[in-house]
Amino acid sequence: MSTLLFSLRGVPDDEAYEIRELLTANDIDYYETSAGNWGISMPALWIRDNHDLDQAQKLLNDYHYMRAIEQRKIYDQLKNEGGNKHIFDVFKEKPLRFAVYIGAVAFILYLYVRMLAEFGF
């Protein structure tokens, strides 16, 4: 009987590819389900044989541990180089666009509050 190993919903393409390669390299028989045409099904990796489940979970845990360390290094490097942006950086780059967005959000909030008051909620 098949067993769910890993849900692919919200997983980056590079991570999904590396997990597929990891399972293939270790001769673990698996199959993949997609989200379907409308995106309502569950995209996931399934193990065909339950005997491989423990080994696959161990490989997956080790992979995620290493990926977390790798991604943290990338984040720290971007942080040191000033590559990650803050809200003030976005404002400095395009102040007019930022002001328009803030104005649109304020207008929507105004309409929301006004409608609530008008309908007596």
| pLDDT (tens digit per residue) in 33-78 | 999 899 889 999 999 989 999 999 999 999 999 999 999 999 899 8
Q: 86: pLDDT confidence band, cut at 50, 70 and 90?
A: confident
Q: Domains of the chain: which residue ranges?
A: 1-84, 85-121
Tell me the pTM. Answer: 0.68
User: How far is residue 51 from each of residues 1, 6, 29, 56, 80, measured CA to CA in Å?
Assistant: 10, 16, 10, 9, 45
The percent of residues in the chain predicted with pLDDT above 70, rounded, is: 99
> What token pair was written down for 38?
């409308």
Query: Is 89 a residue whose pLDDT tops 70?
Result: yes
Domain 1-84 has CATH 3.90.1580.10: no
Query: Is 111 a residue whose pLDDT tops 90?
Result: yes
